[in-house]
Amino acid sequence: MLLSCKYSNFYRTMRRSILFSLYFFVIGFCTCLVMIALVRFWSDNERKEAKQSGKASFYKLGQCPDCKVISTRHWKVGRLKDKLDLHLESAKRMGITPFATNAEMEEELPKLLRRRKLKALEENADSYRLKNLTHSQPYLVPEAVELLEEIGVRFHDKLKELNLPPYYLMVSSVLRTDESQQGLGKRNINATQNESSHIYGTSFDISYKEFLPKHEKPAPEGFCRHDMMRHPLAEVLTEMSEEGRCLVIREVKQACFHITVLE
Ligand SMILES: [Zn+2]
Ligand SMILES: [Zn+2]
């Protein structure tokens, strides 16, 4: 009798503690779900607000929603390895007589701009921004400016197809002089082999490592610099070089596409 009473007590306590732990488990689980939902809701809202107000928002590497969309599509990209000789040939045909020194360029520039031999790149262009140009000046022959603008428009069209917002291309090098070219240490070893088409005003570099969102604030170290955007850009360049509009080399060291106008 005493034994059975003890057992039933034992069972009752057991059942109660099981019920309690089940109860706490369910409560804990539900709280977690609610918390996750709230955090998601808040971050979604923040993202929407940031997008609407043009406020800078940065994404940790691999977590950028725009880059994720790009990575889900197959992009048709060619080799983009046109020989340097071809770039130089086109540059000499379509370009200006190179400036020996930076001082000479400054002196000659107004005349060349007036005669429409050169054109300045826009500071507030729709599709590109100039990087900090240390060894070059933002001028090109008009045909090359047109080419850059068309690359920008077609790049934005590709993003639009995927319902993505426009990103600026980053132009990293434009017109150089013999002097600034030497500053880059490229003509010292072998002048003909290392001659650059940048001195003719027909070539420019677009970074494939960094694309700028519309808020124009570069992402800090460790955050997405939107390098997935290189795929739609490379597809545009492939199409345009197949159309005979330009020559392209993918420069691994400088992480840019070196582009020369062809017609
Ligand atoms: Zn990104
Ligand atoms: Zn270049």
17 pLDDT band (50/70/90 cuts)? confident
pLDDT in tens, 203-261: 999 999 999 999 999 999 999 999 999 999 999 999 999 999 999 999 999 999 999 99
The pTM of this model reads: 0.79
Whole-number Å distance between alpha carbons of 224 and 37: 25
**Ion ligand 2: residues, Cβ under 5 Å:** 205, 258
Residue 91: per-residue pLDDT: 98
For the chain, the domains span 1-55, 65-261
HEC readout, 27-92: HHHHHHHHHHHHHHHHHHHHHHHHHHHCCCCCCECCCCHHHHHHHCCCCCCCCCECCHHHHHHHHH
Residue 50: per-residue pLDDT: 55
Whole-number Å distance between alpha carbons of 222 and 6: 64
CA of 179 to the centre of ligand 1 (A): 37
CA of 55 to the centre of ligand 1 (A): 16
Token output for 98: 């190179």
Calculate the average pLDDT of the chain. 89
CA of 161 to the centre of ligand 2 (A): 29
CA of 216 to the centre of ligand 1 (A): 14
